[in-house]
Amino acid sequence: MIEKPLLVLDFDGVIVDGIEEYWSSSRQTCLNIISAKEKEIIFFPSEIPKVFRAMRPWVHHGWEMVILAAECSNKTSQLNLKGLENFSKNYQLECSLALEKWGWTPFQLQEALNQTRREAISNNFNQWLNFHQPFSLVTQRLQTLEKEGIEFAVLTTKSIEFTKKLLDCFDLQPKLVFGHESGSKVDVLNQLIQTRIIQGFIEDRRTTLEKVLEDPKLKSIPCYLANWGYLKPQDKNNLPSGIKLLNSDTLREPIPKWS
């Protein structure tokens, strides 16, 4: 067992607000893969659609953003016809139906999205970087952890490749970085807990924290819901006893005081 405690954090919505990059990359990916005929009838605005921004808390994997970008921009899509509330209630089913309609697969979209990001980084790295706004309260707090004898790890569904580029630019040096290539967050936490004392896990996705609570092997991990992240309207309500709402004032406190 490694003696230094470890604080584990999600990335998107906890360390960084990347909504501008999500739209830019998802929009460009759509333009790269749709047909010339589809481009004549579907308009992809440069500004972030309100519906795309509002749907962000439901997104779990990057490829879903490409589907949402396509559905937002198509006037005859189920998202536009049924509305945000109806689409979000049946989110997984609606995404599956949209995949089938477009003739796409999650793997295809994830690979296309990754390629779009690589091209954006290669063509204009500073612009790509500026699309990401780190939460200053979080980055400042992470830079003080070392004085408290605590290390931190990043656990995200973003690819490790892009996460590390951003962390370097934010002058953050986590002990460990896990991306979507590493497996599910519950699986990664199960691996970590065998060799590390986990001081806490900070997420902005309530369902992920609830999955952690459901695993008896992870019951020693304090779970925190970041109230500055991409939260659904009801996420803060009636939190189970194992999940604490973490706000900026509490974040500044020494970690033992969070609970």
Query: Tens of pLDDT along 80-99?
Result: 988 989 999 999 999 999 99
Looking at residue 63, its pLDDT comes to 96
CATH number of the domain that residue 171 is part of: 3.40.50.1000
Confidence (pTM): 0.91
State how beta strands 196-203 and 176-178 pair. Answer: unpaired
Is 118 in the same domain as 231? no
Is 142 in the same domain as 245? yes
Is 6 in the same domain as 29? no
Which residue range is the domain that position 191 belongs to?
2-17+133-257
Tokens of 194: 């065998």
Looking at residue 3, its pLDDT comes to 83
Is 200 in the same domain as 119? no
Over residues 125-163, the pLDDT tens digits come to 999 999 999 999 999 999 999 889 999 999 999 999 999
Q: Which is nearest to 9 in space by CA: 170, 130, 120?
A: 170
Domains: count for the chain: 2
Looking at residue 67, its pLDDT comes to 97
Last residue within a domain, chosen from 84, 111, 129: 129
Give the residues of the chain that fall short of pLDDT 70: none
Last residue within a domain, chosen from 79, 108, 129: 129
Is 108 in the same domain as 148? no
- The residue behind tokens 């973490």 is 246
Looking at residue 250, its pLDDT comes to 95
Is 56 in the same domain as 142? no
Q: Where are the beta strands (DSSP E) in the chain?
A: 2-9, 16-17, 133-134, 151-155, 176-178, 196-203, 223-226, 243-246
Residue 96: count of CB within 10 angstroms of its CB: 13
Is 171 in the same domain as 57? no
